[in-house]
Every structure is written in C-alpha cells, then in structure tokens.
C-alpha cells in the first residue's frame, strides 16, 4: 500500500527504495523456506492488491452518478484491484521459477520479469497502463527526459531495477555485487546530465510565434448535466462566455470532451443562433461531441473530436479508438445488457470504436496546423499513438468528472507529461472537471488551469525540436 504514495499526486519517490527492496527480500527469503510455487503467486498478488486498491479506489466514484450502478461499487473497489493484482502474482510466480542461486542474476531476473509483466498489463486485451512504477518520477523532469529515447516502458524497467538495488547491499554474495548497484545510480546521474543538457538546448531555441491563438477552455460543469435533463443551451452559453471570442483575432477554441448534453455531432448546427453573434470567419471551434451513424440494421455511436467553422459546418472529425471498458463500451454487451448493465458514460448503448487515428490537417481560413487528437483515456498509452511524427501538436480533450474529487484527475494529468516528452511535441489539454494545461516537449507545464477552476489559457508560440528517437523508432 505504501508504494502508492510514490505516485502522483503525492510523489514520495523515496518510498520505492524501501517497498520494492522489501518485496524482493521477502521473495528471496521465502524461496529458502519452501518451494510452493502457488504460494509465491499469492505473495505477489497480495503486494499488487495493496498497491492497486489504494491508488485506483476512484474508479468506483464513476458508479455514483447513476443509481442503477450503485450496487456495483463494492465490486469495483475490490474486483478491479484484485484482477490487476493477478499480474503482480505472475511476477513473483515466474521469479521463483527462474530464480538463480546468484543474487545479482536473481535481481536482474526479478527486474526483467516485473518490466515485461507491466508491459503486458498495458497491452493485453484493451490494456490498462495506469500507475506504472515509472510515474513516481513525474516531478523529476531532467531524469525523465530519457524517455524521449527509451520510452516509458524502457524507463519503467530501469526504475524497477534502481528501486530494488538496495536489496543487493543486504543480500550480496561478494563485494563485487555492489558494482551493479553502483552502476544503476551512476546511470541515473547520467540521465540527469542528459536531461539538463536537453533542457538547455531546448531553451536556446528561438520561439516561433503563430499568427493565431489556440484557446484551451478549462471548465467546471457538473456531470449532472447528463442525468437531470440540463438545458444544452445553458451549457453552450456558459462555454461561449468562458471562451471570450475576440472578433478581430484568429482563434481556434478547444472545448473539453463530450461537454454538451444530449447534442449529437450532426445536431450542433441547430444551435447556430447562439454562436452567430460571438464568432466570425476568424474562428474555429473544436470540441468533444458524440456522433451517430445509422446503418442498415443498427445505429452506431462514436465519441469524437470534431472541428467546426463559425457557421458550425463540420470540417474535421476523429472518432476515439481506445474506449474505456464498462465506461464507454460494455464487454459481452449482449449478455450483460440482459441483466440490466450498460455503459456508464452515455444513455443509449456502447460506443463503437473508430477505425484509425489520422492527423488532422487544418488548412483553411489562413490556418495551417497539423494536430494529433487524443480523447481522454487515450493519453495513458505509450507508443503506437501515431505512425508519422510529422505533426505540430498533440491536443487532448477530457472529461475528468467521473473521477470525482479524488486523486484520479491528477494521476490522469501526469500521463500527459510523459506523452509530451516521448513525442517531443507540445501537448495542449482541455478538461472539464480536471486540469487544463500547456505542456512543452520537456514535460514542463507552461500554463495551467487547476482542478475545479473555469477559465482559458492561450497557446500562440513554441520552440520546435526534432522528432524524438522514441517517436521515430
């Protein structure tokens, strides 16, 4: 449980130098006492259960908004951590199978298995790479710069090894074993030196100014709008007021994910009269909005990032690819729907998955910009977010109200820092009930709207670096 305190928003990184060595020491000592492999699986499962139940408790909060789901709260609190803990059970299970008589070899096997299992956890089925050990380094940006080369999973493997190193001091076979421990700490220093140099080189680059602004809206509109028949007109009027359109300035407005209640993508033009007086040909509006597609025998719904002109003509649309299990789609829906279950975030049916994440190329009204769109949950995935690094910005829109007033929004935001460093791109984030921010390619938050605040921030200049090694390869 204590390991959770090393993660955002607490970031007590030093705790990992205690808990991971103790876990490793426990497994090694128990391996001399008995050879019951099944029991070792249980040891790992217990460690994982304590870890996940203390840092993912907020998942159950999403079930409190609809009384139909309230009976599932105890299951979410217990079963999700219990399921994720199975991966940690596999770590100790395979460790005891491959454990060596030499402590250094056992240490390396432990780290490698841990790193591989964490990668599998983030990839298998739909994947859930939330709260990897590496997120303990969220505030050590100079060291974190190394993920621009080796990526989040590569650095996660290194972190596991680094944190477990103190166990070598107690278990070493010879004094030479300490050399391995020393090398990991020296490598950390090298990463810091690299990151400091990377930062200095970035700061020497000349800033390029756009002839337009990208205005990110951070809002604090209650999720009750989905459950109490909130008038969408009032929400639109609040957002327009918050956006403060300026007639003589070119601005792209970014509104959060699924921000408008009960309005589909094709229905938004019906509200043109609300936009008509405030927006003109200098403006574009990008927002999260749901889309309905009618097929011959069915209707499909998509969670989209859509771009409109000032007349609310749809210009570009991206349909979300990575959907949240049970939140946006119901696994085994035909069966589970018969017992009264449905997806949490909409009132009709599961969302359908988009086909492909294409770069949005805005080339009109004197705008010229290439955007990689990521909707909410998609920001947590490392790698395979794009095939071509030839784009200007990452834009992430999110609705974090499902986390309630918990640590969830802060954990979610931390993933944005990692994606910015990995890609070497500015990341612009617009969130409702969450954190809205501009994050530069070093992971530095240049502008920010804190949780539960409603205002806007503008992005209009950048320093451009070459695509990172990780983003290319």
Q: Examine the pLDDT at 298 and tell me if it is beyond 90.
A: no
> Alpha-carbon distance 432 to 224, whole Å?
13
Residue 119 banded pLDDT, cuts 50, 70, 90: very high
Token pair belonging to 103:
């402590």
Residue scoring higher pLDDT (223 or 272): 272
341, pLDDT greater than 90: no
Q: Which residue has the higher pLDDT, 436 or 74?
A: 436
> Predicted confidence band at 230 (pLDDT cuts at 50, 70, 90)?
confident
Dihedral angle, C-alpha 286, 413, 153, 101, nearest 10 °: -160
Over the chain, what is the mean pLDDT?
92
Q: In which band, very low, low, confident or very high, does the pLDDT at 186 lie, cut at 50, 70 and 90?
A: very high
Q: What are the pLDDT digits (tens) for 385-431?
A: 998 899 999 999 999 998 888 999 999 999 999 999 999 999 999 99
Question: Where does the pLDDT of residue 126 fall: very low under 50, low under 70, confident under 90, or very high at 90 and above?
Answer: confident
pLDDT of residue 336: 52
pLDDT at residue 280 in the model:
94
Query: pLDDT by residue (tens digit) across 65-115?
Result: 767 677 778 888 999 999 999 999 999 999 999 999 999 999 999 999 999
The pLDDT value recorded for residue 125 is 82
pLDDT at 41 over 70: yes
CA neighbor of 330 nearest in space, from 321, 320, 343: 343
Whether residue 58 contacts residue 408, with contact meaning beta carbons closer than 8 Å, is answered with yes
- Rounded CA-CA distance 438/416 in Å is 10
Identify the pLDDT of residue 340: 53
What is this structure's pTM? 0.93
List pLDDT tens digits, range 143-175.
Answer: 999 999 999 999 999 999 999 999 999 999 898
- The structure tokens listed for 305 are 């990032």
In this predicted structure, the answer to whether residue 330 has a pLDDT above a threshold of 80 is no
**What's the pLDDT at 121?**
96
Structure confidence at residue 342 (pLDDT): 56
The answer to which of 39-48, 82-91, 323-332, 389-398 has the lowest mean pLDDT is 323-332
Residue 334 has pLDDT above 70, yes or no: no
Residues 6+ apart with CB under 8 A from 340: 68
Q: What is the pLDDT of residue 185?
A: 96
């Amino acid at each position: 449980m204590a390991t959770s305190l090393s993660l955002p928003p607490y970031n007590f990184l030093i705790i990992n130098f205690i808990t991971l060595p103790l876990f490793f020491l426990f497994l090694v000592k128990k391996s001399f006492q008995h050879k019951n492999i099944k029991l070792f699986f249980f040891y790992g499962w217990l460690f994982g259960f304590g870890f996940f139940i203390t840092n993912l408790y907020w998942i159950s909060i999403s079930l409190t908004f609809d009384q139909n789901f309230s009976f599932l709260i105890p299951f979410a609190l217990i079963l999700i951590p219990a399921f994720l803990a199975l991966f940690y059970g596999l770590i100790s299970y395979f460790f005891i199978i491959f454990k060596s008589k030499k402590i250094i070899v056992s240490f390396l096997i432990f780290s490698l298995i841990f790193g591989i299992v964490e990668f599998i956890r983030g990839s298998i089925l739909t994947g859930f790479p939330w709260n990897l050990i590496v997120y303990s380094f969220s505030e050590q940006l100079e060291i974190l710069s190394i993920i621009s080369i080796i990526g989040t999973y590569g650095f996660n493997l290194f972190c596991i090894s680094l944190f477990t190193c103190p166990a070598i001091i107690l278990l070493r076979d010879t004094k030479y074993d300490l050399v391995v421990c020393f090398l990991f700490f020296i490598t950390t220093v090298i990463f810091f030196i690299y990151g400091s140099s990377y930062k200095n080189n970035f700061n020497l680059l000349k800033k390029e100014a756009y002839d337009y602004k990208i205005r990110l809206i951070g809002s604090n509109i209650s999720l009750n709008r989905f459950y109490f028949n909130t008038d969408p007109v009032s929400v639109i009027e609040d957002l327009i007021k918050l956006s403060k359109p300026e007639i003589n300035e070119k601005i792209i407005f970014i509104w959060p994910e699924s921000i408008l209640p009960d309005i589909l993508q094709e229905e938004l033009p019906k509200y043109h009269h609300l936009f008509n007086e405030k927006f003109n040909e200098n403006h574009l509006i990008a927002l999260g909005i749901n889309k309905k597609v009618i097929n011959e025998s069915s209707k499909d719904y998509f969670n989209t990032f859509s771009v409109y002109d000032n007349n609310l003509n749809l210009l570009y649309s991206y349909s979300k690819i990575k959907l949240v299990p049970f939140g946006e789609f119901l696994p085994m829906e035909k069966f589970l729907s018969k017992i009264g279950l449905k997806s949490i975030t909409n009132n009709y049916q599961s969302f359908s998955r988009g086909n492909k994440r294409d770069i949005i190329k805005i080339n009109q009204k004197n705008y010229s910009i290439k955007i990689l769109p990521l909707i909410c949950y998609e920001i947590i995935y490392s790698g395979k977010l794009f095939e071509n690094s030839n784009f200007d910005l990452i834009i992430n829109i999110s609705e974090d109200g499902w986390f309630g007033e918990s640590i969830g929004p802060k954990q979610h935001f931390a993933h944005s820092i990692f994606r910015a460093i990995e890609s070497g791109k500015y990341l612009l984030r617009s969130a409702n009930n969450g954190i809205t921010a501009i994050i530069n390619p070093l992971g530095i938050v240049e502008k920010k709207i804190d949780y539960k605040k409603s205002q806007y921030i503008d992005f209009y200049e950048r320093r451009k670096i070459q695509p990172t090694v990780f983003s290319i390869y």
